[in-house]
Amino acid sequence: MSGESNSLVWNAGWAAAVQRPSEGFHKNWALEGFADQTVRQVVRVTGAGTSARVRLSNRYGTAPLEITGATLARTDEGPAVQDGTERRLTFGGAPSALIPPGGELYSDAAEVTAAPFDSLTVSLYFARPTGPTTFHAQAYATAYRAEGDRLAASDPAVFSETTVSWYHLAAVELADGGPARRDTVVVFGDSITDGFASTVDGNHRYSDALAERLAERGTPRPVLNQGIGGNLLLNDSAWFGERAVDRFRRDVLDQPGVRSVVALVGLNDIGFSEVDLPTYKPNPDNSAAELIAGYRTLIALAHAAGVRIAGATIMPFKGSEYHTPKAEAKRREVNDWVRTSGEFDAVADFAAALADPDDPDALAPAYDSGDRKHPDDEGYRAMAAAIDLAAL
């Protein structure tokens, strides 16, 4: 990194948890990778600053990843960038970079002014074949692809291909010339944290609504979403990322200025064992006691780092493919422990907030996206409203 980057104190702006390349449930480019193509990706930051840097990841790559060129700009909508805001990114002063297999790399600082809820566009040009790409499968934000070097393209029409995943982009960090702040909130978990079924490009995940609540109260804080759709607490998945107990340190505790985390995970550990699908493997029949032991691991890691951790109750899923009497019994036992054990620093009782008053084992119809286990946009807002902001 450049001397300028090293002299700045970096705070959280935006982040996504990366995972192994796979087909996923949405069309994506992770397995095919890129060759003589430009990928333009839009993220909404919840921090603020006058300088920015990006963190690029080749964590799951099997060969060195060449970044031929990269830019950062402000944007209002889609792949179009605001005039005069585009900045060429450098890496140790060079316009290109090579990231080794398993590695990550920060860009140098770029002068870009960003306020909470501004959208920034990161464009990456890959001249040579990348091979399968480290990515985040379920972004619920559009990524754009164009043939050739289109880093400076002002016509959004050249980006004619789209997916709803992020590629090689792990974080955007911001600096304002001031000291380090310890105010970042991380939401951590599976597809419900990730924002499954929320409106694409709408920024209607519960993390978005939580950041908006904090700002409306006059206490704006960065809120990072480190959910991975399908993620498990206790088992790795080729499709859905490393198990939560193993990725917690990297995806939560290593983020800038972390003060608190809300952990919502365990639904898939309960539900996968009730369904025989290739993508739901491994699916051992984990007991509630084993899940509780996993939560205790997260609590111990958080407390050792001086981070507050709120435990979230697992929401109702009656009517979904996961639901059986055995699965429901596990959910109730786990939720009783989360609510009453006192081992978490706080409790986010999402289960109570989103339950159908006439059938508490089911999601309220007003909050159901249609699959009986994932909230819709209103449900995600209700989740954010259920969090005691003082507990963060």
| 3-class secondary structure per residue, 256-306 | CCEEEEEEECCHHHHHHHHCCCHHHCCCCCCCHHHHHHHHHHHHHHHHHCC
pLDDT of residue 2: 39
pLDDT tens for the chain, 392 residues long, are 333 466 899 999 999 999 999 987 678 999 999 999 999 999 999 999 999 999 999 999 999 999 999 999 999 889 999 999 999 999 999 999 999 999 999 999 999 999 999 999 999 999 999 999 999 999 999 999 999 999 999 889 999 999 999 999 999 999 999 999 999 999 999 999 999 999 999 999 999 999 999 999 999 999 999 999 999 999 999 999 999 999 999 999 999 999 999 999 999 999 999 999 999 999 999 999 999 999 999 999 999 999 999 999 999 999 999 999 999 999 999 999 999 999 999 999 999 999 999 999 999 999 999 999 999 999 999 999 999 999 99
Which of these, 188, 193, 175, 189, lies nearest to 257 by C-alpha position? 175
pLDDT of residue 267: 98
d(CA 274, CA 75): 44
Domain ranges for the chain: 3-174, 182-391
Could you tell me the fold of the domain covering 182-391? Rossmann fold (3.40.50)
CB count in 10 Å sphere of residue 340? 9
With left for phi above 0 and alpha for psi between -120 and 50, is residue 162 left, alpha or beta?
Answer: beta
Q: Dihedral sign, CA of 130, 133, 135, 137? A: positive
pLDDT of residue 245: 98
Token duo for residue 207: 């993390």
pLDDT of residue 1: 36
The SS3 assignment for 333 reads helix
Q: What is the distance, to the nearest Å, from the Cα of residue 220 to the centroid of all Cα atoms in its chain?
A: 19
The SS3 assignment for 239 reads coil
User: Are residues 275 and 322 in contact, defined by beta-carbon separation less than 8 angstroms?
Assistant: yes
